Amino acid sequence: MTAATPWADLLTAAADDCLAVLRKGADQDWSRPAQGLDWTCRQTLDHLALGLVGYAGLLIAQPDDRYVTLFASLDPEAPIPGCLDGLGIAASLLTSTVRGTAPHVRAWHPWGHSDAPGFAAMGITELIVHTYDLTRALGLPWAPPGDLSSAVLARLFPDAPSGHGSTDTLLWCTGRIELPGRARRGEWQWDGTVLNPVDHAAAAVLP
């Protein structure tokens, strides 16, 4: 991916990358806490599935003041490989919805009313930062891909500091790490507000 890449394809790439590394740790103890979170690793998977399906629901229902009432969860009795399959399904549902949503569609989110590229970027952010949390807890070597980090920084974090690698910058923006001269953030949020078409194109250009 070296040119302007559709956001649905970026989301697919994020899901594929995250699931590939998480499957390597499927036989570990997922009842341990995810790094930096109040959830276990297993609960973090459920949070991810709920969020991705919820974003698809928002794009479909197009509310202007609320979340949708559809909630998705993973079978609490399912083994981890099955839960990862469920997460893949959730990512595919959001990807298909992003791909089929017209450019003019807008939907509510507490961090900025957004469009299909915005919700795709939210899904990518959720996937890669929580995969970071999970791999750190499970002892799996992995870091968010730089190209995906660059794309979501451009789309959701307009005030991100410059002068650092895109992966480290995203991890700082989402409260995961310190940067030189910048303490770890205790609170954070993205800005999903719709950009103009020119900015949309620039946000999806990968180095």
Domain assignment of residue 130, given as a range? 7-144
In angstroms, rounded to a whole number, what is the distance separating the alpha carbons of residues 178 and 31?
27
Distance of CA 91 to the CA centre of its chain: 10
Say if 204 falls within a structural domain. Answer: no
Domains held by the chain: number: 1
Full-model pTM: 0.91
Residue 206 in this model has a pLDDT that exceeds 90: no
State the Cα–Cα distance between residues 74 and 56, nearest whole angstrom: 16
Give residue-wise pLDDT tens across range 56-112. 999 999 988 888 888 888 998 999 999 999 999 999 999 999 999 999 999 999 999
For position 44, which CATH number holds?
1.20.120.450
pLDDT score, position 69: 81
State the Cα–Cα distance between residues 133 and 150, nearest whole angstrom.
19
Q: Please write the tens of the pLDDT for every residue from 145-192.
A: 999 999 999 999 999 999 999 999 999 999 999 999 899 898 999 999
